[in-house]
Amino acid sequence: MSPVKRVVLAYSGGVDTSICIPYLKEKYGIKEVITLVANLGQGENLEKIREKALNSGASVSLIADLVDDFVDNYAFPAIRSNALYGDKYPLSTALARPLIAEKLVLTAREYSADAVAHGCTGKGNDQVRFDLAINALAPDLKIITPAREWEMSREEAIAYGEKFGIPAPVSKKSPYSIDVNLLGRSIEAGSLEDPMKAPNEEVFEMTSSINDAPDTPDDIEIEFKNGFPISIDNETLSRKEIITKANLIAGKHGFGRIDMIEDRVVGIKSREIYETPGLLLLIKAHKELETLTLTHDLNDFKCSVEKKWAQLIYQGYWFSPLKNALDGFIQNTQKAVNGVVKIRLYKGNATVIGRFSKNNSLYREDLATYSHEDKFNHKNAEGFIYMWGMSNKIWAELNSSKIKD
């Protein structure tokens, strides 16, 4: 294989990607390192990060505005899918990886690069997500992964960067690894590696503590059309604005913190802290509306599809035939998911207190009521129960003597 002359590096300005530029040049002899910074709504000064890459030796440093794409094509499908890995984590970080990988590939094609690179470590999930996505989109592109090869600890990586005059974004005294985008924050490392130690309040930014949360609840209404949220409290918003407003409202009341032991793709368990107030709130409301508008068997089966969908995204299979097939099923189920869900936010909790669908509700008050307006035919119950339990009754008749013995 011919030597790599030009590479596109997924760049965040963090510890690992910060030292990738000099490392790629020093160890691989690569002449041109093009860095790509993805704007995912993380709220950082991306121009400063771009300049840092140039000062670190990048020949070209690019900023890709991916916010709308991220929300429209990744976050909102996840809401429809009620995607919760391990029944807790709404994939706020995992959803961003295939999008960044796709942009890496497109940039590599545009600049005629020989390879792409990322700074993911050898025991994390992101390396799997990036590599699988890149291989699915461009199997001919070489993938360079310095952090899998250099065998440096986080402290050694910081020291290596300092040798080249690259300031680290975290201090040696507080070595948290933090990833941020519009959907939320993920925090790991440092004192959090002790699963019995409660996280310090300093690690949270998007959510209030229970003590600081308001002493009075807020009741909000979220409206959905075809399974997508379209308004909050009767205010029609863009998709980005819906995520932003949901983050603010839920975060103010301390809702959206996750502290979990997570089964990583590479086979180890890790302790992860997440803040995803808006996404969790929207998924909770969406799932509730489905209980009103979808049949029992469809809801039951969709739960298994949702679990598999979340696993696929977590494990890096965004670009896969199975994921595409599941997308088709989920999309078909959402035609009837129209209506409003009312949620009460208070002291870390989001409690559903109402739900309504004008044209798609399967709830019939005249059948459910116990008042004089009840239209349910109680006499039909006896025949139904007879047929419903017939096989079990026959089994009991054949085995009753054995049971007595």
Which listed residue (97, 239, 257, 355) is catalytic?
97
Which listed residue (59, 69, 148, 177) is catalytic?
177
Does the active-site annotation cover 174?
no
- What tokens does 354 get? 């109402």
Helix-strand-coil percent breakdown of the chain, rounded to 5?
45, 20, 35
Contact indicator for 280, 256 with CB cutoff of 8 Å: yes
Which listed residue (16, 114, 131, 179) is catalytic?
16
Q: What residues are paired with 181 via a beta bridge?
A: 184
Does the active-site annotation cover 271?
no
Instruction: Provide the 3-class DSSP secondary structure of residue 275.
Output: strand
Q: How far is CA 297 from CA 89, 291, 301, 303, 308, in A?
A: 25, 11, 6, 10, 17
Q: What is the Cα–Cα distance from 179 to 163, expressed in whole angstroms?
A: 25
Q: What is the Cα–Cα distance from 315 to 241, expressed in whole angstroms?
A: 29
Does the active-site annotation cover 297?
no
Does the active-site annotation cover 72?
no
Which listed residue (126, 208, 239, 355) is catalytic?
126
Q: Which residue type does 368 have?
A: A
Q: At what angle do helices 277-293 and 296-314 cross, to 10 degrees?
A: 150
Active site residues: 16, 97, 126, 177
